[in-house]
C-alpha cells in the first residue's frame, strides 16, 4: 500500500520540555488511523504538526513524498475537523461549507456542484440557510465535516470530533464517520482519548503515552496482544499478576470462577468474592485473592443464573494462551 | 428578621440611586423652567432650547466638539484595533507588560494626562488647537479600544483563524473574512465609546484646547463662571441625553455576538 504521510524522526519541544521525543510513523493511503492516549500524551500536538499549526523542533513530515515542514497550513492539501468545530459564527451553513472553495477561487459552477454533493452526503440540505448557533451539536459536527471534505483533501485530520457530544449520539456518529471514510476513500487521522471509539472505527491504532507510540497495530492486536503494561491497562480492563521478572495480564472475560468443592481442576489462584456488579449484558465479579494483595475481575454472562455469594471462597482459572506476558 | 434586613438594604439602594441621580434630574427639570432663576419653578417652556439654537458661540462649540470627536474616535479605534490584534499574537510574557502599559492611561489621573500633554505640545512647538485636542483624545481613547477589542479576540480564541487557514485562506483572507467580521461589533462599540468620551472630556481638553477649539464642556464651564443660566441646563441636558444614547448603543454592539459569555458587562 502507498504511504500518504510519513513522519520521520519528528520531535517537538515547548521551551525546555520535550513533548514528543523523535517519532517515526508511516500512514497508508485510505486508512483510518487513530492516535489514542490520555490527555497530555502528545496526540493533539502530533496532529497539529501534521496540519501545520505547530512546527516540529526537528525531523521532517512528508505528504505524498513531499516534505511539508516549511509549508504553511493554508497550502497543505489536508483539512481538519476541530474539537469544538470552529464554525464561522457569522456565516450560514452553506457559506461555511463553501469557504474553502471560495478561498481557493474555484469556479462558481463547480462550487455549487460540489456543495450539492456534500450537502447530500452529510444530509444537511434542509439546514443550508441556518446559522451555526441555530444547530444542535451533532448538526454542527456534520457541518464541520462537510466544510472539510468539500475540498477533497488527501488526508482528513479529526481532533476529538465527537468529544462534545452525548453518549448515544456519539455511538451513531462513530458508525457514520466510519462509513463516510470507506465511501470517500480519504485517509483519516483521528485523535481521541476514548478507547472504545478507537476500537470501533480504526483500521490501525497508535497508542500514545508521554509522546511515545507504545504500540501500533489493529484493534485486535492492541486488545489481545498488548506489548506494554500501559497498553494492557489503558485499553479495556485487565488483571495483572506478578510472575517472576514479568507481569502476566489476563482479560476479565478469560477468567473462569470455580466452586472450591467441585475438585478436579487445580485452580491457578484462590480467593473470596468481594463484590458482584450486574451491568445487563454481563456481570462483573470481584475476587479478593488470598495469597496476594490483588483484586481480580472476572466477567460472566449477564443472563447466567446468579450462583455466587459475597464472601464465598472460589478458585480462579484461565487458559495458558490467554495469558499475555509483559515486561515490567 | 430577614424581611427587615432586606427592606433596609432596598431602602439603602434607593438612597444611593437618589444620591447619584437627583442633581442630574434637578438640572434637567430646570432646563424647562420659565424663570431665569434656578431656585423657583414657574412653568414649563422650550425657550432655552430655542435660544441655544440661535446662540452662535454654542453652535460653534458644538461643531468643534463633533469634529474633534469624529476624528479622534476614528483614529483611536483604528490604532487601538491594530494594537489589540498585535497583542493577541504576542507571547504571554511580553503581552503582560505591554498590556499593563496600554491600560495605564485608564487609571492615570486626567489632570496629569492633560498637564503632561500640554508640556509635550509646548516642547515640540505645536500650537494649541483642534490638532492637539484630537491628539490628546486619541491618546486616552486607545486604551479603551484595546480593552474592548482584546476581550473580543480572547473570546474568539485561535480556532476560528486556524480553521480558516486550514481551509486554504491566506493570512490576509483570514483577517478579511473571519477575524474582522467577528470583531466588528467590538469595533463599532469602540467607535461609539471613544466618540462619547471625546464629547464629554473636560479636564484634559482644558489643558490642550486653543482659542479656536472650544468644545461644549469647555463652553459650559465658561458660561457657569457667569452664573448658571437655564441655557446651561438645556445644553447639559442635551449632552447627557446624547451621551446615554451613545453609551447604550456601544453596549448593545459590544454584547452582540457575545451572548455565549455571560457576565461581560462593561463596568466603568
Question: Per residue in B133-183, pLDDT tens?
Answer: 999 999 999 999 999 999 899 888 889 999 999 999 999 999 999 999 999
- Residue A17: strand pairing partners: A14
| Residue A243: how many other CB atoms lie within 10 Å | 11
Lowest mean pLDDT among A162-171, A220-229, A313-322: A162-171
A201 CA to chain B: closest CA distance, Å? 24
Q: Provide the 8-state DSSP code for A155.
A: E
Length in residues, chain A? 328
In this complex, do A147 and B167 lie within 8 Å of one another by their Cβ atoms? yes
ipTM of the prediction greater than 0.85, yes or no: no
Q: Choose the mutation target among B164, B165, B166 for the interface with A, i.e. most A CBs under 10 Å.
A: B166
DSSP of A43-93, one letter per residue? HHHHHHHHHTSS--SEEEEEETTEE-TTS-GGGSSEEEE-TT----TTS-H
What does the pLDDT read at residue B51?
A: 86
DSSP of A256-295, one letter per residue? EEEEGGG-SSPPSEEEEEEEEEE-SSEEEEEEEESSSS-E
Q: Is A14 on the interface with B (CB under 8 A)?
A: no
What does the pLDDT read at residue B119?
A: 95
Q: Please indicate, yes or no, if residue B31 is contained in any of the structural domains.
A: no
Q: Is A99 on the interface with B (CB under 8 A)?
A: yes
**Cα distance between residue B261 and residue B51, in whole Å:** 48
B267 CA to chain A: closest CA distance, Å? 26
| Residue B12: how many other CB atoms lie within 10 Å | 10
Q: Is B263 on the interface with A (CB under 8 A)?
A: no
Chain A partners within 8 Å of B165 (Cβ): 52-53, 72-74
What does the pLDDT read at residue B165?
A: 94
How confident is the prediction for chain B on average, in pLDDT? 86
What does the pLDDT read at residue A109?
A: 95
Q: Please indicate, yes or no, if residue B48 is contained in any of the structural domains.
A: no
B185 CA to chain A: closest CA distance, Å? 11
**Residue B50: its H or E element:** helix B47-54
Q: Does the pLDDT at position B48 exceed 80?
A: yes
In this complex, do A151 and B167 lie within 8 Å of one another by their Cβ atoms? yes
**Cα distance between residue A23 and residue A2, in whole Å:** 20
Distances (CA, A) of A306 to A260, A328, B187: 16, 37, 69
In terms of Cβ atoms closer than 10 Å to its own Cβ (0-12, 13-18, 19+), residue B91 is exposed
The domain defined by A250-327 folds into OB fold (Dihydrolipoamide Acetyltransferase, E2P) (2.40.50)
Task: Supply the range of the domain harboring residue B171.
Answer: 54-267
- CATH of range A3-230; options 3.10.330.10, 3.40.50.300, 3.40.50.10480, 3.40.50.80: 3.40.50.300
Number of domains into which chain B is organized: 1
DSSP of A207-262, one letter per residue? EEETTEEEEEE-HHHHHHS--SHHHHHHSS--EEEEETTEEEEE-GGG-EEEEGGG
The grid coordinates of residue B48 equal: 432655552
CA nearest neighbour of A318 among A243, A260, A263, A266: A266
In this complex, do B163 and A86 lie within 8 Å of one another by their Cβ atoms? yes
What's the distance, CA B194 to chain centroid?
4
Q: Please indicate, yes or no, if residue B36 is contained in any of the structural domains.
A: no
**Directed axis angle between helix B216-224 and helix B56-88, to 10°?**
140
Q: What is the mean pLDDT of residues A76-90?
A: 92
DSSP of A82-126, one letter per residue? -TT----TTS-HHHHHHHHHHHTT--HHHHHHHHHHHHHHHT-GG
What residues does each domain of chain A span? 3-230, 250-327
Q: Please indicate, yes or no, if residue B22 is contained in any of the structural domains.
A: no
Q: What is the mean pLDDT of residues A305-314?
A: 86
Range among A106-110, B84-88, B244-248 rated most confident: A106-110
Chain B partners within 8 Å of A151 (Cβ): 167-168
DSSP of B4-18, one letter per residue? HHHHHHHHHHHHHHH
Percent of all residues in chain B with a pLDDT value above 90, rounded to a whole number = 40
Chain A partners within 8 Å of B173 (Cβ): 103
Q: What is the mean pLDDT of residues A215-223?
A: 95
**Cα distance between residue B87 and residue B101, in whole Å:** 12
How confident is the prediction for chain A on average, in pLDDT? 91
**Residue A17: its H or E element:** strand A17-28
Chain B partners within 8 Å of A148 (Cβ): 166-167
Q: Does the pLDDT at position B91 exceed 70?
A: no
E runs forming strands in chain B: none
- pLDDT band at B243; cut points 50, 70, 90: confident
In terms of Cβ atoms closer than 10 Å to its own Cβ (0-12, 13-18, 19+), residue A22 is middle
List the end-to-end C-alpha distance of chain B, in Å, as a whole number.
Answer: 35
In this complex, do B167 and A79 lie within 8 Å of one another by their Cβ atoms? yes
Distances (CA, A) of B74 to B68, B106, B183: 10, 19, 16
CATH of the domain at B86: 1.10.3720.10
| Residue of chain B nearest A53, judged by CA positions | B162
Q: Please indicate, yes or no, if residue B29 is contained in any of the structural domains.
A: no
Q: What is the pTM of this model?
A: 0.79
**Cα distance between residue A152 and residue A114, in whole Å:** 10
**Cα distance between residue B207 and residue B120, in whole Å:** 11
CA nearest neighbour of A285 among A259, A310, A263, A315: A310
How would you write B147-158 as a 3-class SS string? Answer: HHHHHHHHHHCC
Lowest mean pLDDT among A5-9, A168-172, B114-118: A168-172
In this complex, do A74 and B182 lie within 8 Å of one another by their Cβ atoms? no
Q: Is B155 on the interface with A (CB under 8 A)?
A: no
Chain A partners within 8 Å of B178 (Cβ): 88
Give the pLDDT confidence of A251-307 residue by residue, as tens digits: 999 999 888 766 666 788 889 999 999 998 999 999 999 888 889 999 988 888 878
Amino acid at each position: 500500500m502507498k504511504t500518504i504521510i510519513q513522519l520521520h524522526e519528528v520531535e517537538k519541544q515547548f521551551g525546555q520540555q520535550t513533548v514528543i521525543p523523535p517519532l517515526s510513523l508511516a500512514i497508508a493511503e485510505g486508512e483510518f488511523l487513530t492516535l489514542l492516549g490520555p490527555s497530555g500524551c502528545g496526540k493533539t500536538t502530533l496532529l497539529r504538526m501534521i496540519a501545520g499549526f505547530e512546527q516540529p523542533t526537528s525531523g521532517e513530515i512528508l505528504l505524498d513524498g513531499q516534505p511539508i515542514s516549511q509549508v504553511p497550513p493554508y497550502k497543505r492539501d489536508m483539512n481538519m475537523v476541530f474539537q469544538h468545530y470552529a464554525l464561522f459564527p457569522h456565516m450560514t451553513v452553506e457559506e461555511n461549507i463553501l469557504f474553502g472553495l471560495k478561498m481557493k477561487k474555484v469556479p462558481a459552477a463547480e462550487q455549487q456542484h460540489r456543495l450539492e454533493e456534500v450537502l447530500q452526503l452529510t444530509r444537511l440540505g434542509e439546514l443550508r440557510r441556518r446559522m451555526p448557533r441555530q444547530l444542535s451539536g451533532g448538526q454542527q459536527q456534520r457541518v464541520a465535516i462537510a466544510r472539510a471534505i468539500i475540498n477533497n483533501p488527501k488526508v482528513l485530520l479529526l481532533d476529538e470530533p465527537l468529544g462534545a457530544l452525548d453518549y448515544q449520539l456519539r455511538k451513531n456518529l462513530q458508525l457514520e464517520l466510519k462509513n463516510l471514510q470507506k465511501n470517500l476513500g480519504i485517509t483519516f487521522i483521528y485523535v481521541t482519548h476514548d478507547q472504545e471509539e478507537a476500537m470501533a472505527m480504526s483500521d490501525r491504532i497508535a497508542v500514545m503515552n508521554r509522546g511515545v507510540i507504545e504500540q501500533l497495530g489493529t484493534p485486535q492486536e492492541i486488545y489481545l496482544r498488548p506489548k506494554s503494561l500501559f497498553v494492557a491497562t489503558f485499553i479495556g480492563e485487565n488483571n495483572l499478576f506478578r510472575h517472576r521478572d514479568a507481569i502476566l495480564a489476563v482479560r476479565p472475560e478469560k477468567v473462569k470462577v470455580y466452586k472450591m468443592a467441585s475438585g478436579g481442576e487445580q485452580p491457578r489462584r484462590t480467593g473470596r468474592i468481594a463484590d458482584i456488579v450486574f451491568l445487563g449484558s454481563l456481570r462483573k465479579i470481584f475476587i479478593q485473592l488470598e495469597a496476594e494483595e490483588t483484586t481480580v475481575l472476572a466477567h460472566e454472562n449477564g443472563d447466567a443464573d446468579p450462583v455466587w455469594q459475597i464472601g464465598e471462597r472460589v478458585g480462579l482459572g484461565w487458559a495458558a494462551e490467554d495469558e499475555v506476558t509483559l515486561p515490567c | 428578621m430577614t424581611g427587615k434586613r432586606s427592606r433596609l438594604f432596598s431602602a439603602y439602594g434607593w438612597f444611593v440611586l437618589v444620591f447619584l441621580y437627583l442633581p442630574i434630574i434637578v438640572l434637567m427639570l430646570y432646563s424647562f423652567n420659565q424663570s431665569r432663576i434656578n431656585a423657583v419653578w414657574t412653568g414649563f417652556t422650550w425657550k432655552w432650547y430655542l435660544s441655544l439654537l440661535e446662540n452662535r458661540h454654542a453652535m460653534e462649540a458644538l461643531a468643534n466638539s463633533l469634529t474633534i470627536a469624529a476624528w479622534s474616535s476614528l483614529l483611536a479605534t483604528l490604532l487601538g484595533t491594530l494594537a489589540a490584534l498585535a497583542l493577541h499574537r504576542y507571547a504571554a510574557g511580553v503581552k503582560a507588560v505591554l498590556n499593563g502599559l496600554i491600560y495605564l492611561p485608564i487609571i492615570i489621573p486626567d489632570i496629569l494626562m492633560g498637564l503632561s500633554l500640554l508640556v509635550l505640545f509646548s516642547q515640540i512647538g505645536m500650537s494649541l488647537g483642534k490638532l492637539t485636542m484630537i491628539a490628546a483624545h486619541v491618546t486616552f481613547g486607545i486604551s479603551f479600544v484595546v480593552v474592548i477589542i482584546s476581550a473580543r479576540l480572547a473570546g474568539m480564541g485561535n480556532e476560528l483563524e486556524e480553521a480558516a487557514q486550514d481551509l486554504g485562506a491566506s493570512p490576509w483572507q483570514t483577517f478579511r473574512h473571519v477575524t474582522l467580521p467577528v470583531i466588528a461589533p467590538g469595533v463599532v462599540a469602540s467607535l461609539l465609546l471613544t466618540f462619547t468620551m471625546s464629547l464629554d472630556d473636560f479636564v484634559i481638553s482644558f489643558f490642550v484646547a486653543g482659542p479656536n477649539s472650544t468644545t461644549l464642556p469647555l463652553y459650559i464651564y465658561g458660561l457657569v463662571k457667569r452664573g448658571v443660566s437655564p441655557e446651561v441646563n438645556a445644553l447639559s441636558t442635551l449632552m447627557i441625553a446624547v451621551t446615554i444614547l451613545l453609551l447604550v448603543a456601544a453596549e448593545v454592539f459590544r454584547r452582540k455576538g457575545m451572548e455565549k459569555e455571560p457576565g461581560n458587562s462593561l463596568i466603568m
